[in-house]
Chain A
Amino acid sequence: MEVLDSFESLLTNAELAEVLRENKKQGNENNRPAVVVEMEKRVSKYLAESPGRGATREHVEALIERLGQVSPVEGQPALKAVELHNLANLRPTQLVEVYAVLANAEARFGDDKLSHMIDVIGECLPLPQLSK
């Protein structure tokens, strides 16, 4: 057994959800082992309950660009890559949720800019769909 590349490429949660949906649609005529069927079921459930579900690569790229234009208070650090990722995944709709995700949110941006970020997130990312 050899790991050729432990980070060959990335998969957005929305893309993985699509892959798992396809796998499920194909049914089990090939007798896939129970362990993988169960694993996919549990991962699908997690993705279906994630607030950031439905966000495609394009949605996230648009979000990154627009949030990148929100400048921090003078001398304070701007949004980090990790924070952009977390904002996209958690799709906050209230200030209290943004405070949970961004360290020193108030000192770095202030409530006005944070509220603006929430608006931008709402405009760039799709509303999480209710599962059937």
Chain B
Amino acid sequence: SRWMERMFNIVRMKDAIPIPAIELDKPRSVAVTNQIELKYANRVLIDVGLCVCLFEMIELGDSLMYQSDSAVHVRAEFTLVVFRPFIGEVLTGKIAKSSPDGLWLSVGFFTDIFVPPHFMQDGTEWDEELKLWVWKSEHGDAYLDPSHGDVLFRVTNSKFRQVKAPSRAPAAAEA
């Protein structure tokens, strides 16, 4: 049931995996596993999450070859371990970067965690001299200093951004 949502999920995939000719001396399952992990590990799948590693190879299908392509393409069904913290989850992380725009946090394997100022605790201000955020309370000031250890943060939103690959076409030549 959904109440047991976790930061790590198992995601089932189907894909045609190209095995470069040079890998064909390996047993098929090893070659396919390696190519799957090369393709997916540390990559974000839109609306799914950040892929960690292969979980299970479910099925290896036919191998296909295409004209003038030395790779063998293997149809595979498999599961991946994927990181996708859910809304409301509280995690521990380290401060990676502090700027007047906000705080960037890291959990080690993922660093794209941003806390805008309006989501910080009431009374948090930017200290221009020390270049840190500081929480001012009646009991004293607490600096959000990376060297002070981990912070707790709550996930409020998960954004997947489509990044257009930069064009590799050379700039138009001047006539």
Contact = CB atoms under 8 A, between A and B. Distances in A.
Contacts of B114: none
Nearest to B33: A30
Contact of B13 (A3, A13, A16, A50): A3
A90 B34 contact: no
A90 B42 CA distance: 25
Nearest to B84: A6
Interface in A17-62: 19-20, 23, 30-33, 35-36, 38-40, 42-43, 45-46, 49-51, 60
B24 interface: no
A40 B13 contact: no
Nearest to A82: B88
Given A33-B41, A35-B41, A81-B3, A4 B14 contact: yes
B13 A4 contact: yes
Contacts of B86: 82
A101 B89 CA distance: 9
B112 to A, nearest CB: 14
A11 B6 contact: yes
Contact of B10 (A8, A42, A43, A51): A8
B38 A3 contact: no
Given A10-B4, A39-B53, A4 B34 contact: no
The number of chain B residues touching the other chain, given as a range, is 35 or more
B90 A90 contact: yes
A78 interface: no
Contact of A10 (B9, B14, B38, B45): B9
A115 interface: no
A84 B90 CA distance: 11
A10 B10 contact: yes
A61 B54 CA distance: 27
A86 B89 contact: yes
Given A10-B9, A13-B6, A39-B53, A86 B109 contact: no
Contacts of A81: 2-3, 5
Contact of B34 (A32, A46, A89, A101): A32
A49 to B, nearest CB: 8
B125 interface: no
B7 interface: yes
Contacts of A1: 13-15
B10 A46 contact: no
**Ordered nearest first, which 4 A-B pairs have the shortest CB separation?**
A81-B3, A42-B109, A36-B41, A82-B88
Given A33-B41, A36-B42, A101-B90, 19 more contacts: A3-B48, A6-B47, A10-B5, A11-B6, A11-B10, A31-B34, A33-B37, A36-B38, A39-B42, A39-B109, A40-B53, A42-B108, A46-B109, A85-B5, A85-B89, A86-B88, A86-B89, A90-B90, A101-B152
